[in-house]
Amino acid sequence: MGIVQDSIDSMNPQGLSLWCLVLPTLFAILGAATYLVTLASHMWTRYNGKDGQEKLKRWHSQDWGDNTPLSVQLPAFRGYLITQPEHFGPLLKATRFLSNKKVMAELMRDVFGTPPRVMPLYLGDNSGIEAKPIQGTSVPEYQRIWNSQHADSAKYLTGDALRGLAARFTSILSEAMSKADPHDPADSGEWVTIEDFYPWWRARVFAAATTALFGPHLLRLNPTLEQDFWNFADSIPTLAKRYPAWMAPRAHAARNKMLDNVKRWHAHAREKSEYRSCGDDAPNWDEYWGSRWLKVRQRWGQDTNIMDDDGLASEDLALAIAWASSANANAIPMAFWYLIEIYRDPSLLSRVLPELENAVKSPVSPGRDEPAAFDISCVLSSPLAQSIYAEVLRMRISLLLNRCPDKKDHRIGPWILRKGAYMTLSTAYIGYHGKAWELYTDSGRAPINEFWAERFLVPSDKITPPPALAKVKAPTERPLDTRETSEQKPRFSTKHLDGIWVPYGGGALMCPGRHFAKQEMMGSVAVFAHYYDLEVMTGKAPPMNDKFYGMGAQQPSEKTPVRIRRKVGG
């Protein structure tokens, strides 16, 4: 201490003045350099213009092949990129040894704004998702958030609850589309040109999907909710990279606006309706809370003694994005791709349209004000309509499925992945894997990088295992060959695609809302086809927006000009 003091005392005033100038300047230069390097990295990732899917496929297959896991730096963490087709199925099913809890907790914090005081609820729950806690854990039942989310979503997105939710969505959408907008040229009854079909489409479906789950008051209390939602959805890739507010002010502002919207709705719903009245004998739907599921979530969160208003808002913001396999952020774009694929091909449309029209149970008649009623069960069971649905998801869902061995090291083939390491599986990578899909290309006439409506249709006789997956599990079915005789009635199936058709993930962590997502997607297409005619002017689907690679449903990167005409209603 004496040496330090002597050195300070020996400095002359001029030296002290010099250091007072130099040190702040050095810190400023270092800070600016750090900012510029980080900003340059962000701008390169955001605006380089190359397609992420093609980069990933070309980079790994050309440089490394499919023979080894590869350590890569992803937006928010470093992980092992798994690309061997035979490993996808087993890894996704190994939920006893692998979880996505770590990634989900970080997403709640970084993307959905869960405050630090609430994060221990997510990070401290090591008891698993099953009803019986993992042996050796001691998390109180009222704080087992992963089990609660898993059990409740399964309960309210299946069976009678699912059917009621899907019917409500279709009814709300039909009622909205039955009313012509005098300010919308598309409702004039004449053929008109719309410069970009996607925003026109999503504006009409968003309100129906939101009202079906959350009730009417979330939208009523927040008139700008739709635009706020899409502003936030567009900001998710930036938030996932963990940029602080001073570097990404728009992204953070978009999230805060949505959180304020949810908190405003929560406060109103709590004032008007008792959320604790949510037992099995309570109505399945409430004007203020929407689905009974929302009241159950509110009660559970309040009873944790950790959740507060901010934490509850983050929870329901995540649900607004991700419910029913992202009913808004995923199902709306996927229904867009479904419409574009069938309406750009007149021969395909002529086959699909009669099946969609079968869903109309009480069509709109001249002079009637009532909207058409729908029963989409016939569409959901149609082999061709389902095959188009599965093909659209294969091509346009891009997720990075993350798993982590949080108990001990995990063996995959000849390799051992260390405890705590991330494993990442790209659905877009495996969905376009040439060898894995080799038998599903109509003998080469339908390349895997092109849309083929019949790719998921199978006959019922012979068995042929795909070579890429033969070591894992021989499939029970083979794909349809269009050269086969017409007597063979095809049927829809994905059972033979274990581990390579994974738009919803796999195993116990598979998206619990996948059933509603399918019904929303196909139901909205059936409703649209009843009220409107459509022509895709370019005759082709637009390219996908690389910004959303790994984030779920891919959105179009270019405008989609169409000709449209109202057929009935209004």
- For the chain, the structural domain boundaries read 145-433+500-566
- Under a CB-based contact definition with an 8 Å cutoff, are residues 319 and 297 in contact? yes
Q: Which residue in 538, 539, 542 sits closest to 556, CA to CA?
A: 542
- Where helices occur in 244-368 by DSSP H, the ranges are 249-272, 292-303, 309-326, 332-343, 346-357
Distance CA 165, CA 156 (A): 9
Cβ-count burial of 345 within 10 angstroms (0-12 exposed, 13-18 middle, 19+ buried)?
middle
Q: Which residue in 380, 395, 355 sits closest to 554, CA to CA?
A: 395
Give the pLDDT confidence score for residue 471 in this predicted structure: 44
Distance CA 432, CA 444 (A): 14
Give the pLDDT confidence score for residue 184 in this predicted structure: 94
Distance CA 297, CA 278 (A): 10
Q: Is 99 helix (H, G, I), strand (E, B) or coil?
A: strand
Distance CA 13, CA 238 (A): 48
- Under a CB-based contact definition with an 8 Å cutoff, are residues 266 and 298 in contact? yes
CATH architecture designation of domain 145-433+500-566: Orthogonal Bundle (1.10)
Q: Which residue in 176, 184, 169 sits closest to 531, CA to CA?
A: 176
Neighbours of 553 (CB within 10 A): 28
Q: Is 244 helix (H, G, I), strand (E, B) or coil?
A: coil
Neighbours of 563 (CB within 10 A): 15
Cβ-count burial of 400 within 10 angstroms (0-12 exposed, 13-18 middle, 19+ buried)?
buried
Neighbours of 375 (CB within 10 A): 16
Amino acid at 419: K
Q: CA separation (Å) from 270 to 113, 115, 220, 276?
A: 22, 21, 16, 10
Q: Which two tokens stand for residue 359?
A: 């869903």
Give the pLDDT confidence score for residue 167 in this predicted structure: 92
Cβ-count burial of 244 within 10 angstroms (0-12 exposed, 13-18 middle, 19+ buried)?
exposed
User: Taking the CA atoms of the chain, what radius of gyration do you get in angstroms?
Assistant: 26
Distance CA 417, CA 1 (A): 49
Nearest 5°: the CA angle 308, 313, 318 is 130
Distance CA 322, CA 501 (A): 20
Distance CA 377, CA 175 (A): 19
Give the pLDDT confidence score for residue 72 in this predicted structure: 63
Q: What is the pLDDT of residues 302-329, one digit of tens each?
A: 999 999 999 999 999 988 876 534 455 6
Residue that is written with structure tokens 């042996």 in the block: 135
Question: Which segments in the chain show pLDDT lower than 50?
Answer: 1-64, 324-326, 462-476, 483-486
